[in-house]
A and B are shown apart, each in its own frame.
Chain A
Amino acid sequence: MNQAIALESQTIAGWGMAVGGASQVVAPTSKEGLAAALAYAADHGLRVALRGSGCSYGDAACGTGKLVIDLAQFHQILDFSPQTGILRGEAGVTLRQVWQTAVAAGFWPPVVSGTMAPTLGGAASMNIHGKNAYAVGPIGEHIQALEVMTPGGQLLEVSRQQRPDLFHAIIGGAGELGLITRVDLKLKPIYSGKLNVHATSAPNFGALLDRFVQALPSSDYAVAWLDAFATGRALGRGLIHTARQLAQGEDPDAKNTLQVQQQELPLHLMGVFPKAAMWRLMKPFAHPAGMRLINWAKYQSGRWLEDGKDYQQSHGAFHFLLDYVPNWKWIYRPHGLVQHQSFVPDDRVREVFPAILALCHKHGMPSWLAVLKRHRPDPFLLSHGLDGWSLAQDFPVTPRNREALWEMCHQMDELVMNAGGKVYFAKDATVRPASVLQAFGAEKLLQFKALRDELDPNGLLATDLYDRALAPAIALAQAADCQAK
């Protein structure tokens, strides 16, 4: 079969704009078209990278010199039941579509990222988490079933009952085992469109962790922002925002607050200033001194104006901070940004995260935006989840710092992996294969490889992430395995 497919040469970059390159792109609209694209790639010796909304910071949805299959055209919500809360959507359905469909019926996605742009297929492939990761785990734990197309074009139904091995590997499998074509997601009931938000500030990392831990039992969501520029006794100072869902009957105006328009983010700031132009106002601050000032100002205003305050916010406004200023990442133009997210076990966090913050200062590259979250372990094969914490840090890429930045990320990885930590592929652009091996262990990587050999024996699926980090890590695991035998 060699059906004609509409190919387009295009530069496909990671969300952070720092990695990626020229690719052939095809955006099929039907499963037949999808199968044809896969067959075309196999016939032409092209390898295939899968892409949804392209929200992964690094190269998880990039396919430089390869065929990139864009699954965004599969955006039908096939079914939603307000009785069970189960939403069945095609791979390209976005989180925005999900909440817009469900909110008026009193449902919200169980897990959302900082932006509502990700697709269900992408969210499942990267097994994304939210600010409630410590309580409900990553999105995979709320997926009931998946439909998967193998690179050979065969359709499989996958769930905890049917092929549980594959179910737990393809979620978080970064699109290297098969194409997720449908996701059945169980949404959670909500009884108000508002959340009760509580803000706290903390003058250093120790206090920040203490207050975070203290707030967890009474919160459904928790996140801390850190001023990564602070040093010395103020190292790791920041602001904590926790939120609690309203119980049934707690919101007298629930019918109204659950309307879609109550959740939408405003298009204007303070009613007048168009947010689409906001990033231009931020651009003049896009240098270390400017960011030091902004981080300082944010901490001080949080500390003096917000500390200890309670207020209500819509779900949309609380969760989708990254959508608040459209295209804010453009302040990182032209060379982009990388995000390094460290996952560290609970018993090591008080030593490792301050060490990481200090390391960045030592290299003269404190993060421009740093965010702390709590996590829990989950049953997925290549999971970033653990009983511990994550620290996500954004770093600008410049011609001058490129090499030093990568080196610094490798040093952070060393601290993280030596503490028994993890790497998260949705963010990563820098990790070395040895760190991947250390994070997941040879056994899990070999299990992953065995599934890949079964589903994709010709190795058709390969994002840049796979070639850069995962495949060499598997090779290291195989070598270690050979030696052990």
Chain B
Amino acid sequence: MDNILIIGASSGIGAALAQALARPGRTLALVARRNEALAMVAEQVRALGGQAIPLACDVTDDQQVEFTWNQLRSLLPGLDTVVYCSGIMPDVGPDEFDSVKDRVIVETNLIGAMAWLNRAATLFLSLGRGTLCAVGSVAGDRGRRPGPAYGASKAALHTYMESLYNRLYVRGIRVVTIKPGPIDTPMARGKAKGALFPVDLAAKRIARAIERGEREVYVPAKWAWIMGVIRLIPPTVFRRLSI
């Protein structure tokens, strides 16, 4: 775990995770669209003694992903961990059904993850080691009223990660799925009800999950049993609840 790639590292969980993982002897490749924000995160990583390689790339553009991936392979040949954090959750009104908006959500949250993790899986298979991680969401565990496309994209991401896990665990590759509840990030602020969990604590927990190669981790941990209960609620009851 010396050479880690974080996709979506310019803000939110990705940026906090970069800090949580940064340490002397480690190199973090940081990918995001926004160059300026990325430069700041890179600075923070270096301040913590780590090496940082910022790379600008739009994860929804497969050509850019291909180019950046190849660039990264030569810059960081010892790559051993890939973490996909990119995700968007635009405001969606209660009666809004907007295919254009939904497509962008799915492209960022799901297709982008596949673009990166498929490439990483091929590389790690050739090496017989490595860790793949993606940040999903508790919103992917049930079809709630707000954010149909967001929830669907995260549910699909969870299923994709479970598939990767089942394919790769016997080949020495660790596949880690993170399911955060509402975390104090720009994405969740003003949207989620109740208190938001501090992002630096969430990042620490995620960093530990990656280092240990845990299969599935809810952050904070209480969401494991909350979602355990919520998943059991029958649809006829669930539709009457405003959760």
Contacts and interface: CB of A to CB of B under 8 A. Distances in A.
Interface of A: 18-22, 45, 59, 62-66, 335, 397-399, 402-403, 406, 429-430, 464, 467-468, 471-472, 475
A399 B128 contact: no
A406 B172 contact: yes
Given A21-B122, A64-B122, A65-B122, A467 B169 contact: no
A22 B70 CA distance: 18
Nearest to A45: B70
Listed from nearest, the 9 A-B pairs whose CB atoms lie closest are A64-B126, A65-B122, A21-B125, A464-B126, A399-B170, A64-B125, A468-B127, A402-B170, A335-B170
A397 B169 CA distance: 12
B78 interface: yes
Contacts of A21: 122, 125-126
A467 B127 contact: yes
B169 A399 contact: yes
22 contacts: A18-B171, A19-B128, A21-B122, A22-B122, A45-B70, A59-B126, A64-B122, A64-B126, A65-B122, A65-B126, A398-B170, A399-B169, A399-B170, A402-B169, A402-B170, A406-B172, A430-B128, A464-B128, A467-B126, A467-B127, A468-B129, A475-B78
A66 B125 CA distance: 12
Contacts of A430: 128
A62 B78 CA distance: 19
A59 B171 CA distance: 13
Contact of A402 (B77, B126, B172): B172
Given A20-B125, A467-B126, 7 more contacts: A21-B125, A21-B126, A62-B126, A64-B126, A403-B172, A464-B127, A468-B127
B123 interface: yes
Nearest to B126: A64
Majority-rule SS of A interface residues? loop
Nearest to B170: A399
A275 B114 CA distance: 45
Nearest to B121: A21
Interface of B: 70, 77-78, 122-123, 125-129, 169-172
Contacts of B172: 402-403, 406
A337 to B, nearest CB: 13
Contacts of B77: 471-472, 475
Contacts of A475: 77-78
Given A45-B70, A471-B77, A472-B78, A66 B169 contact: no
A397 B219 CA distance: 33
Contacts of A397: 170
A58 B20 CA distance: 36
B78 A468 contact: no
Contacts of B171: 18-19, 402
A128 to B, nearest CB: 23
A250 B201 CA distance: 82
A20 B70 CA distance: 21
A378 B150 CA distance: 63
B69 to A, nearest CB: 11
A471 B77 CA distance: 10
B214 to A, nearest CB: 14
B157 to A, nearest CB: 22
Nearest to A398: B170
Contacts of A398: 170
A398 B122 CA distance: 21
A468 B126 CA distance: 7
A272 B227 CA distance: 62
A22 B170 CA distance: 16
A406 B170 CA distance: 11
A430 B171 CA distance: 11
B128 A59 contact: yes
A429 B125 CA distance: 12
A398 to B, nearest CB: 8
Contacts of A59: 126, 128
Contacts of B128: 19, 59, 429-430, 464, 468
A398 B170 CA distance: 7
A472 B70 CA distance: 18
Contacts of B122: 21-22, 64-65
Contacts of A472: 77-78
Contacts of A399: 169-170
Nearest to A335: B170
A174 to B, nearest CB: 15
A68 to B, nearest CB: 11
A206 to B, nearest CB: 36
A63 B126 CA distance: 7
A18 B172 CA distance: 10
A467 B80 CA distance: 12
A380 B170 CA distance: 35
A65 B129 CA distance: 15
A22 B123 CA distance: 11
Nearest to B127: A468
Contacts of A63: 126
A408 to B, nearest CB: 13
Contacts of B70: 45
A65 B118 CA distance: 10
A66 B126 contact: yes
Contacts of A19: 128, 171
A62 B125 CA distance: 10
A467 B128 CA distance: 10
Nearest to B169: A399
A391 to B, nearest CB: 22
Contacts of A22: 122
Contacts of A62: 126
Nearest to B173: A402
Nearest to A433: B78
A127 B3 CA distance: 34
